[in-house]
Amino acid sequence: MKQVKILIACGTGVNTSTLVCNEVKKICKREGIPAEILHCSVPEIPINSKMVDIVCPANAYKRELDKPVLSLVEFVTGINKEKKEKMLIEKLKELAEMD
Amino acid sequence: MDVIYKIVQAILGVGATTLLPFIILILGLIFRMKFAEALKSGLLVGIGFQGLKLVISFMATTLQPIITYYQGSGAGTGLTTIDIGWQSLSAAAWATPFAAVVIPLGFILNIILLRLKFTKTLNVDIWNYWHILFIASLAYLLFDSFILGLVIALACTVIVEKMGDLIAKPWQEYFGFEGTTGAIIFHSTTMFPIYWAVNWIIDKIPGLNKIDINIDKISEKYGALGDPSIIGLMVGVLLSVLTRQNVTTTLQVAIGLSAVMILTGRMISVMMNGLSQFSTGAREWSAKFLGEGQEIYIGMDYALGQGDSACISAGILMIPITILLGLILPGNTFFPITLLANLVVYTCVGAMCTKGNIFRLLIGSVVLVIYLLYAQSWMAPLVTKVVNWAGMETTGLVTGGGASNIFAVIIGLIGKLLGKW
């Protein structure tokens, strides 16, 4: 498995992102997915997305990118979180196994 | 009453900074955390606060040449107040003794009101209770009554919840976050009404109500300009040029401010790390008491709405407009620094009211920023008082986002009328 680079983005970058970063770290560790987590503010997504495999905004980010985008807003609201967690794990495993 | 007063006085004697970890520890235990975890949370919050104090004092040193210029200009006015930002105000609010009382009581009141079906909003955004703690501290310092501060704070928690009920529909429709709503008192009762009113007025004007513009390209091309470090650098250079500093000072101010912008965020991040389990705890706690089947809107931070193209583009376009307004508005006493980095969060409140119409969003944001500049300038002496009370030393006047909260301004106004400041 190769290391997956995940970009987690949120607003001015403090309230929601801390929570989401911690959750994603926990999930990757539990599932044994090698991951590197990067972190930036929303306006910087287009620039930073070039360096990663997947972009996970912790909000309503809607723009299309040339990288897969998976919003993790459910990790903040707690609603449908299990479903989103499954999707994230699947996606990360898929990326980790790609060459 | 006398007993409470004495206890508060005793607490204040020890110093808020020292007590902060213990306040958080107690709150953590209330939210069902394990003792060791709660203790660690308390320490992290305390550490973040100490760090923020250092950053604020560094910010004051960095900006000293600018402040000295304006003070020496003889005009008596000028940009002599420092914008220390919501970050510092929130940290200060958490360090006041109100945190230990208002948060558990406010939360319990919320659960009772939910059971009575008086509201549908469950506010789990514990961090943003700081706006309410700040209002309570303001009332306490002006009117010297802890009980009054507490009563006002609890009234504010109810207002946030009722506003949450009202905002749930446009919030869910625009952002698509099922089962949630916005729950920050500043955004719900100050920004939301301003954007809503501007949108309502434009709707009534023939011709104007047809206008929409598309500036999507802005967020793609200039997105990086919205980054706090770059904002700090640009503002530093601009302020230095305006106050005729030499090259060395200009560079020092610019690089220094850039550092301040990043470091304040990082320090709040440390504090947030300590509090991140509170929201989860609050949600689990309330699930036990409410049972299944009741319709609930989970109260959230407005920053979740960010990411919408309209709000990023408008937020970035508002940066130069806000700088200009800060410089030309007569009577404004501070240069907006941290305010600039927050514009993208403010515009997402507006995006919801205007359904993403950028023309209306910009007009609304201009009205909002004019209000914020005047309100935060006017509140500066009071803000300085609260921040000092919380154990953060300052040189000269400071202000920040959140001070312009309509309820904070009303309390300031009543205090002014009664001759309290």
| Coil, helix or strand at residue A89 | helix
Tokens of B159: 């207002």
pLDDT tier, B75 (very low <50, low <70, confident <90, very high otherwise) = low
Beta partners for B306?
Answer: B308
Residue B49 has pLDDT above 60, yes or no: yes
- In this prediction, residues B198-209 reach a mean pLDDT of 94
B292 shares contact with chain A (CB less than 8 Å): no
**B344–A43: do the CB atoms touch at under 8 Å?**
yes
User: Which secondary structure element, helix H or strand E, spans residue A16, and what is its range?
Assistant: helix A15-31
- What would the pLDDT profile of B12-33 be if each residue is shown by its tens digit? 667 667 778 888 898 888 888 8
Q: For the ranges B97-106, B129-138, B208-217, which has the lowest average pLDDT?
A: B208-217
Tokens of A94: 């898929």
B345 shares contact with chain A (CB less than 8 Å): yes
Q: Which residues of A touch B301 (CB under 8 A)?
A: 15-16, 76
pLDDT at A80: 83
Alpha carbon distance B51, B34 (integer Å): 26
Alpha carbon distance B200, B367 (integer Å): 14
pTM score of the predicted model: 0.87
pLDDT at B12: 63
Residue B222 has pLDDT above 80, yes or no: no
- What would the pLDDT profile of A45-86 be if each residue is shown by its tens digit? 887 888 999 999 888 787 778 899 998 988 888 788 889 999
- In this prediction, residues B363-387 reach a mean pLDDT of 96
Count of other CB atoms within 10 angstroms of residue B288:
9
Which residue of A lies nearest to B228 if distances are taken between CA atoms?
A12
pLDDT tier, A12 (very low <50, low <70, confident <90, very high otherwise) = low
Which residue of B lies nearest to A47 if distances are taken between CA atoms?
B224
Which residue of A lies nearest to B297 if distances are taken between CA atoms?
A77
Beta partners for B180?
Answer: B298
pLDDT at B1: 61
- In this prediction, residues B199-211 reach a mean pLDDT of 93
Cβ burial of B16 (10 Å; 0-12, 13-18, 19+) is: buried
Nearest to A77 among B220, B224, B300 (CB): B300
Residue A15 has pLDDT above 70, yes or no: no
Residue B11 has pLDDT above 80, yes or no: no
- What would the pLDDT profile of B277-292 be if each residue is shown by its tens digit? 787 788 777 877 777 6
- What would the pLDDT profile of B287-327 be if each residue is shown by its tens digit? 777 776 778 898 988 888 877 778 888 888 899 999 999 99
What contacts B201, CB < 8 A, 6 or more positions away?
none
**B300–A47: do the CB atoms touch at under 8 Å?**
no
Greater pLDDT, B374 or B273: B374
Q: Closest approach of chain A CAs to the CA of B207, in angstroms?
A: 30
Residue A29 and residue A92 in contact, taking contact as beta carbons nearer than 8 Å: no
Amino acid identity for residue B74 in this structure: G
- In this prediction, residues B331-350 reach a mean pLDDT of 90
Nearest to A12 among B176, B220, B265 (CB): B265
B134 shares contact with chain A (CB less than 8 Å): no
Tokens of B379: 């509140």
pLDDT at B366: 97
Domains of chain A: 4-97 (3.40.50.2300)
Nearest to B276 among A22, A42, A77 (CB): A22
Q: For the ranges A75-84, A87-96, B162-171, B366-375, which has the lowest average pLDDT?
A: A75-84
- In this prediction, residues B349-366 reach a mean pLDDT of 94
| Coil, helix or strand at residue A8 | strand
Nearest to A18 among B226, B273, B344 (CB): B273
